[in-house]
């Protein structure tokens, strides 16, 4: 079982049909082999957060995280929000996928996790390209995962695709160490409350030689002396910061492509 307990990181025991696809997961129950914690699917997605099933305990995530849990933001993300990224140099989803696949080639045939998948803009494209055994769409936002599930249902070409939807925290990924072939994070790094914790966690779950590909916003390269916004909800990066972040977290062979304030970076385990 690829999926693991977010507490122990030990493999989950599954009661139900095997497979990394939404049909099999929706029909299954999961329990940690070590701490005996149980996890269940909510039809649209499997909740593998630490607080899954909590009745009394409540956590208040950072403002940026809460923004993307808003159903309205989930609804408009592919209906206008994402298109605004072109002003910063983002070439558009189809071209971004083409660029990403060049870096992801060593991971072809394995399982890829689309971290912070949002409404599944790249999850669907990664599944359609046919280069991976399965695609796991992972996000912390319940509303984004529901929107992702709806888009997958509407796309008839994806009815037999191996796509699984999982709710999880990027700093506590529900996979055992060294089990994932590739991780993609499209326009997400700048939203993570603790990017260093997230990238370190990504390094933990990647197989040796596994590939990490991400896109994000660079700081103003025309006036680099001006202060850049850095907060818990959004930040802009310098290219050197991103390279150092990957190295500090144990990733190697850092490469990048830059257009305006857009950067696509990749590194390997």
pLDDT digits (tens, 9 = 90+) for 81-95: 899 899 889 999 999
Q: Two tokens at 46?
A: 């499997």
> Is there a contact between 168 and 65 (Cβ–Cβ < 8 Å)?
no
Q: Model confidence over 227-248: pLDDT tens digits?
A: 445 444 567 899 999 999 999 9
Query: 5 in a domain, yes or no?
Result: no
**pLDDT > 70 fraction of the chain, expressed in percent and rounded:** 94
Q: CA 126 to CA 124: how far, in whole Å?
A: 6
Structure pTM?
0.92
Residue 114 structural domain: 46-268
With beta carbons less than 8 A apart as the criterion, state whether 197 and 169 touch.
no
- What separation in angstroms does the CA of 227 have from each of 239, 242, 253? 16, 17, 30
Model confidence over 122-134: pLDDT tens digits? Answer: 999 999 999 999 9
Q: Mind listing the pLDDT tens digit for each residue in 165-204?
A: 999 999 999 999 999 999 999 999 999 999 999 999 999 9
**Residues of 23-60 as b/e, b for ≥16 C-beta within 10 angstroms?**
ebbbebebbbeeeebebebeebbbbbbeebeeeeeeee
* pLDDT tens figures, 14-60: 999 999 998 899 899 999 999 999 998 877 899 999 999 888 888 87
Q: Are strands 46-47 and 38-40 parallel, antiparallel or unpaired?
A: unpaired
The count of domains in the chain is 1
- How far, in Å, CA of 142 to CA of 99, rounded? 29
108, part of any domain: yes
Q: Is residue 199 part of a domain?
A: yes
- CATH number, domain containing residue 198: 3.40.50.150
Decide if 38 is inside a domain.
Answer: no
Could you give the CA distance from residue 162 to residue 127 in angstroms, rounded to a whole number? Answer: 7
18 is a domain residue: no
Integer angstrom CA distances of residue 48 from 141, 171, 177, 202, 217: 12, 12, 16, 16, 29
Question: Looking at the domain assignment, is residue 32 inside a domain?
Answer: no
Average model confidence (pLDDT) across the chain: 91
How far apart CA 226 and CA 217 sit, in angstroms, is 16
- The answer to the question of residue 220 being in a domain is yes
Determine, yes or no, domain membership for 4. no
- pLDDT confidence bin for 78, thresholds 50/70/90: confident
Handedness of CA 193, 148, 179, 244 (dihedral sign): negative
Both tokens assigned to 190: 């700048």
């Amino acid at each position: 079982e690829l999926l693991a307990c977010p507490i122990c990181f030990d493999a989950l025991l599954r009661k139900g049909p095997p497979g990394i696809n939404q049909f099999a997961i929706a029909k299954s129950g999961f329990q940690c082999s070590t701490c005996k914690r149980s996890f269940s699917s909510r039809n649209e997605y499997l909740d593998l957060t630490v607080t899954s099933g909590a009745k009394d305990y409540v956590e208040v995530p950072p403002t940026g995280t809460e923004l993307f849990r808003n159903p309205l933001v989930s609804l408009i993300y592919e209906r206008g929000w994402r298109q605004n990224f072109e002003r910063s140099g983002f070439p558009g989803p189809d071209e971004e996928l083409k660029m990403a696949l060049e870096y992801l080639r060593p991971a072809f045939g394995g399982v890829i996790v689309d971290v912070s998948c949002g409404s599944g803009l790249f999850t669907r494209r990664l599944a359609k390209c046919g280069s991976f055994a399965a695609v796991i769409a992972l996000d912390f936002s319940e509303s984004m995962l529901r929107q992702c599930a709806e888009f997958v249902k509407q796309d008839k070409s994806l009815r037999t695709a191996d796509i699984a939807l999982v709710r999880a925290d990027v700093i506590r990924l529900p996979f055992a160490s060294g089990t994932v072939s590739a991780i993609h994070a499209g326009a997400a790094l700048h939203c993570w409350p603790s990017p260093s914790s997230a990238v370190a966690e990504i390094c933990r779950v990647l197989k040796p030689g596994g590939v990490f590909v991400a896109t994000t916003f660079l700081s103003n390269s025309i006036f680099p002396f001006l202060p850049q916004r850095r907060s818990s909800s959004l930040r802009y990066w310098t290219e050197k910061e991103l390279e150092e972040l990957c190295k500090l977290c144990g990733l190697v062979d850092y490469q990048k492509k830059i257009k305006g304030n857009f950067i696509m970076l990749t590194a390997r385990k």
